[in-house]
Structure 1
Amino acid sequence: MAHIALTIAGSDSGGGAGIQADLKAMSALGVFGASVITAVTAQNTQAVTAVHSIPLDVVTAQIDAVLSDLDVRAIKIGMLATPEIIETIAAAISDFTGPVVLDPVMIAKSGDALLARDAVATLRDVLLPRATVLTPNLPEAACLLDQPVADMSDEMATQGRALVELGAQSVLMKGGHAKGEVCRDILISNDGAIAEFTAPRRRTNNTHGTGCTLSSSIAAGLAKGLSLQQAVSQAHHYLQGAIGTADDLRVGHGHGPVHHFHQVWQA
């Protein structure tokens, strides 16, 4: 029987992030991925040139169609452009009892905004308390807390604990935006447990979709029945391989994607 995970996110026409990255990562990790599209973006490795939000009733219908038929074991939530979509999704998954991975997507790698400014508070108040694990990068964590961006490990942990206090069961503070030769991610749980995941910082311009890939990989692990720490460890290892082989893909002329199928085929 297939392990099934659901991604609720936006579509990236360039194929490197969003729904496309989520489904690739889930497939690479042996999980069947279902999808609910919240927005369609006109996007490539250089820019986001248009965003069209999917009508709310269609978002709800997609969620209902999947959850009423498929045995979904984990949900990953990514790009949610407006307060209304956030509230719609919170209502539509209210009866889902499995783990939820919430990736608070706010800005594309190109620098283009993907979350309306007035939607940040709704995300924080309505959906964050529903998260089994929240996976913000450092600017996203700072925005949710209305604080300066953390640049040290102790500041990352402090902000992670503050996000847990807002209702998330656990928070994975991603250190990709920090400085130093070592990239450090910190997992903070509501029971006080802390785990660190480290890797050498790779010098590459091809990191489009890293946040989507990591969060969907965690959801894949949870769908297979792994503990949260096991799922994060597996996802962290998988993403490092995808980043390490990203330069071989040579996709686009801007921030290229990571290589989701680096374990299957070489570019």
Structure 2
Amino acid sequence: MAERSSRSDTRTTIVEAAARLLHEQGPSAVTTRAVAEAAGVQAPALYRLFGDKDGLLQAVAEHVLAEFVSTKAESVRAEAAGGTDPVDDLRAGWRIQVEFGLTHPAVFALLNDPARTDPSPAAQSGWQVLTARVHRIAVAGRLRVTEQRAVQLVHAAGTGVIQTLLAAPVAHRDAGLHEEMLEAVLGRILTDAPATGDDRPRAATVAFRALAPDLPGLSAAERQLLLEWLDRTIDE
């Protein structure tokens, strides 16, 4: 048990040292020698724990994003408990996400590497946070599209706008681009408040769809059939 704890402590020390180097000097600074010196360990320890430099960088990206996501997850619980406006909360979460991407460009690039086929646990947690925010909007009767489509649109737009901003020199970045992108997405997925005209039936259906999985008195088969009917209505 003591050996396992020591191994975990060493791993944490190395990851935190590498994260500092990555943040302060970029990926090129995260060499085996530099990380070992910063962490106060011998270089072979890095290979035993992470395999190679890529393994270490992925662990660092996970570490930085996990801390960020844990903060977001706590804020979602506070939002739900406090009865705040779910659309305002989505806006706030978007701004935090953009700030994270621009503040940690190396980590953002690692986590959004197209060659990476399996999403990281931290990235999956972030997706769950976004899903929870969108679900609250659906329950409030404000969505005109399915929850899944809304989550996909917000996520794709957020990733794209961060990549666009990072590709431009800092002095030439359009400071208002991410806000305009968000409003464009919200205009596509939201109804007016409250829903009127043609939006009213769709918003009501989406809201009912958000609550349907928790309805009492239905068998699993009945609940599944109800969800299929609602999904078909929303998609038409």
TM-score, normalized by length of structure 1?
Answer: 0.23
Question: Greater share of helix residues, 1 or 2?
Answer: 2
Question: Greater share of strand residues, 1 or 2?
Answer: 1
Larger Rg computed on CA atoms? 2
TM-score, normalized by length of structure 2?
Answer: 0.25
Tell which has more relative contact order, 1 or 2 (C-alpha 8 A, sep 6+): 1
